[in-house]
Amino acid sequence: MFEKLKALKERYQELTALIADPKVIADRNLWQKYVKEHSALGEVMDKYEEYLAAEKAAAECKEIIQDGSDAELTALAKEELGERTTQMQSLTDELKVLLLPKDPNDDKNVIMEIRAGTGGEEASLFGADLLRMYMRFAERQRWKVEEIDMNYTDLGGVKECVFMISGKGAYSKLKYESGAHRVQRVPETESQGRIHTSAATVAVLPEAEDVDVELNMNDIKVDTYRAGGAGGQYVNRTDSAVRMTHIPTGIVVTCQDEKSQLKNKEKALKVLKSRLYDYYQSQADEAYAQSRKSQVGSGDRSERIRTYNFPQGRVTDHRINMTLYNLEGFLDGDMMPIIEALRLADQNAKLTGEN
């Protein structure tokens, strides 16, 4: 690990010189590339410098102890050596975490999809609860939410919906939400007070950039049609809704949120790129996923990840066996306790795999 840190320090010093070089500054794209790399190494280097300072102080303490000519100074050196040794161990643990491979998608915006599963209308109503939960969470994070394709039922439930959340670190926090979410409660339509179990699935896709996906427009079939909504309340007189089909994979995307056909095409294309990125990434990761599954879970949409139990007021994440008795707050967007626990579990799983 420390050989790697030495090499990174040399690279960091090289980058410091490069971003100050007038020739590099003149090439804006190259300069931005170097600045980004320099910034990414900054936290690691700060922590490494702390470690080196502690290591130097520890070495000085050992020299004083070895000399032993001054009893009082030797006692102080022994005390400081213990503190420095503890500090070095703590910094070593932090450096191990910082050196873990970064998920290249962590800083990206996300495209989220919610679909009602088993449970009929109750599953759709639960889907609407999940939609509100993520919107409230985004609001707490000061992120932007943009609806793309929303398909509601007459009772206000969600059959399926697609929306984008834009903000710093959106994917890093929401990527653990992919999977099947289960709800246990007494539906309003249940006259005998029996508890029903329903489900909805959530998919979280990083927004794909142009460099992530090679998209041949000749492979896309575009159909336009008139938008419609629950109960016929919203029907366009023009063919503004858009359906895009990626012929090689069969992936279909629809968008009818905007009244402008052009805007719907732009939104649909964003979703299509992200689904294709997810599709090809999943294929590439399949062999790895079969050989080693993360302790947090594979993120497969069919995997049951969480249960929302209304009679007991609890939410349980099955991947880390964590239960919170704050269901109302959680559904109002207070999700960080479980999200942070999932992040730490993922981090520990990677550290275990590294050792």
Q: Tell me whether residue 79 is in a domain.
A: yes
Tell me the two tokens of residue 134.
């993520």
Q: What is the pLDDT of residue 79?
A: 93
Examine the fold and report which residue of 72, 98, 124 is the final residue of a domain before the chain moves on.
Answer: 98
Helix axes 71-98, 28-67, angle to 10 degrees: 150
Between CA 78 and CA 87, with CA 83 as vertex, the angle to 5 degrees is 145
Beta strands 110-116; 158-166: pairing state: antiparallel
Domain match, 148 and 278 both: yes
What value does the mean pLDDT take over residues 103-117?
A: 88
Give the integer Cα–Cα distance in Å for 220 and 140: 37
Is pLDDT of 232 > 50?
no
pTM: predicted TM-score of the whole model, two decimal places: 0.66
What value does the mean pLDDT take over residues 164-179?
A: 92
Comparing 100 with 6, which gets the higher pLDDT? Answer: 6
Is pLDDT of 353 > 50?
yes
Domain match, 79 and 163 both: no
What CATH number corresponds to the domain at position 64?
Answer: 1.20.58
Domain match, 80 and 168 both: no
Examine the fold and report which residue of 53, 76, 98 is the final residue of a domain before the chain moves on.
Answer: 98
Beta strands 179-185; 304-309: pairing state: parallel
Domain match, 195 and 240 both: yes
Tell me the two tokens of residue 187.
């539906």
Give the integer Cα–Cα distance in Å for 72 and 84: 18
Is pLDDT of 136 > 90?
yes
**CA proximity to 176, closest of 340, 351, 349:** 340
pLDDT tens for 265-319 read 888 888 888 888 777 777 655 544 443 344 344 444 456 899 999 999 999 999 9
Q: What is the pLDDT of residue 299?
A: 43
Q: Tell me whether residue 105 is in a domain.
A: no
Q: What is the pLDDT of residue 211?
A: 52
Please provide the average confidence, as pLDDT, over all residues in the chain.
84
Domain match, 155 and 75 both: no
HEC-encoded secondary structure of the chain: CHHHHHHHHHHHHHHHHHCCCHHHHHCHHHHHHHHHHHHHHHHHHHHHHHHHHHHHHHHHHHHHHHHCCCHHHHHHHHHHHHHHHHHHHHHHHHHHHHCCCCCCCCCCCEEEEEEECCCHHHHHHHHHHHHHHHHHHHHHCCCEEEEEEEEECCCCCEEEEEEEEECCCHHHHHHHHCEEEEEEECCCCCCCCCCEEEEEEEEEEECCCCCCCCCCHHHEEEEEECCCCHHHCCCCCCCCEEEEEECCCCEEEEECCCCCHHHHHHHHHHHHHHHHHHHHHHHHHHHHHHHCCCCCCCCCCCCEEEEEECCCCEEEECCCCEEECCHHHHHCCCCHHHHHHHHHHHHHHHHHHHC
What CATH number corresponds to the domain at position 260?
Answer: 3.30.70.1660
Range of the domain at 40: 2-98
Q: Tell me whether residue 277 is in a domain.
A: yes
What value does the mean pLDDT take over residues 327-350?
A: 92
Examine the fold and report which residue of 63, 98, 133 is the final residue of a domain before the chain moves on.
Answer: 98
Q: Tell me whether residue 103 is in a domain.
A: no
Domain match, 193 and 76 both: no
pLDDT tens for 7-43 read 999 999 999 999 999 999 999 889 988 998 898 888 8
Q: What is the pLDDT of residue 236?
A: 52
Report the number of distinct structural domains present in the chain. 2
User: What percent of the chain stands above pLDDT 70?
Assistant: 87
Domain match, 70 and 128 both: no
In this structure, of 72-76, 80-84, 207-211, 274-278, the range with the lowest mean pLDDT score is 207-211
Residue with the two structure tokens 């990174």: 8
User: Is the CB of residue 110 less than 8 Å from the CB of residue 215?
Assistant: no
What is the CB neighbour count within 10 angstroms for residue 67? Answer: 11
Q: What is the pLDDT of residue 296?
A: 45
What is the CB neighbour count within 10 angstroms for residue 350? Answer: 17
User: Is the CB of residue 330 less than 8 Å from the CB of residue 277?
Assistant: no
Domain match, 164 and 130 both: yes
Q: Tell me whether residue 104 is in a domain.
A: no
Q: What is the pLDDT of residue 191?
A: 63
